[in-house]
């Protein structure tokens, strides 16, 4: 993934902020909400399988949501949990519904963020295509950030794709 400072200046703070995106969006938008668009077992994308050290054909629990506020879709969020991690501490992930994942990630002291990377996505990347499918956007590229969170040695991969409305009031 690319360094966030190659991104447009208006996105750099979003891409490099190590805090809770949920908390930051709630602070900006009183009507913040999470709209789930897909969830269930599916194979991870190739780069996700590499990051999680999974067989690309293995199934994982995948959750896609839209983070909304101020009448706009601000972020397309995509999380991938290896199937083996569905037991134990991560088991509640499948029951989040409209609750933000970020609340769980940043309130449990046992969960550690292992890193933060960013990347520009275009039509060649499946996350760009997923964001486009769920939002109807037609921009040429989008910027995303990705983190691995770890609980009891089990990883959860979270990718947040920032949509053009991220900086609009």
Q: Has residue 46 been placed in a domain?
A: yes
Q: Has residue 30 been placed in a domain?
A: yes
CATH of the domain at 108: 3.40.1410.10
The pLDDT value given to residue 1: 45
Q: Has residue 143 been placed in a domain?
A: yes
Pinpoint the alpha helices (H) of 109-159: 126-135
The whole-model pTM stands at 0.93
* Cα 30 from Cα 71, distance rounded (Å): 11
Q: Has residue 169 been placed in a domain?
A: no
Q: Has residue 42 been placed in a domain?
A: yes
The pLDDT value given to residue 5: 53
Q: Has residue 63 been placed in a domain?
A: yes
Q: Has residue 81 been placed in a domain?
A: no
Q: How far is CA 164 from CA 15, 43, 136, 161, in A?
A: 13, 28, 12, 10
57 lies in which domain range? 4-76+86-123+130-164
Question: Over its length of 169 residues, how does the chain's per-residue pLDDT go in tens digits?
Answer: 445 457 888 899 999 999 999 999 999 999 999 999 999 999 999 999 999 999 989 999 999 999 999 999 999 999 999 998 888 889 889 999 999 999 889 999 999 999 899 999 999 999 999 999 999 988 999 999 999 999 999 999 999 999 999 988 8
Number of structural domains, the chain?
Answer: 1
The pLDDT value given to residue 125: 95
* Cα 46 from Cα 118, distance rounded (Å): 17
Judged by DSSP in three states, 80 sits in strand
């Amino acid at each position: 993934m690319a360094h966030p400072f190659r991104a447009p200046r208006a996105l750099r703070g979003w891409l490099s902020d190590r805090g809770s995106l949920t908390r930051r969006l709630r602070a900006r938008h009183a009507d913040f909400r999470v709209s789930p668009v897909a969830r269930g077992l599916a194979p991870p994308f190739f780069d996700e399988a590499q990051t999680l050290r999974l067989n690309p054909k293995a199934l994982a629990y995948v959750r896609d949501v839209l983070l909304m506020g101020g009448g706009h879709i601000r972020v397309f969020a995509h999380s991938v949990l290896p199937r083996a991690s569905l037991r134990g501490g991560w088991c509640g992930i499948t029951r989040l519904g409209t609750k933000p994942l970020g609340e769980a990630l940043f309130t449990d002291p046992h969960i550690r963020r292992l890193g933060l990377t960013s990347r520009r996505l275009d039509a060649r990347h499946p996350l760009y295509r997923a964001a486009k499918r769920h939002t109807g956007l037609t921009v040429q590229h989008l910027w995303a950030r990705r983190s691995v969170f770890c609980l009891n040695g089990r990883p959860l991969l979270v990718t947040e794709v920032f949509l053009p409305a991220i900086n609009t009031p």
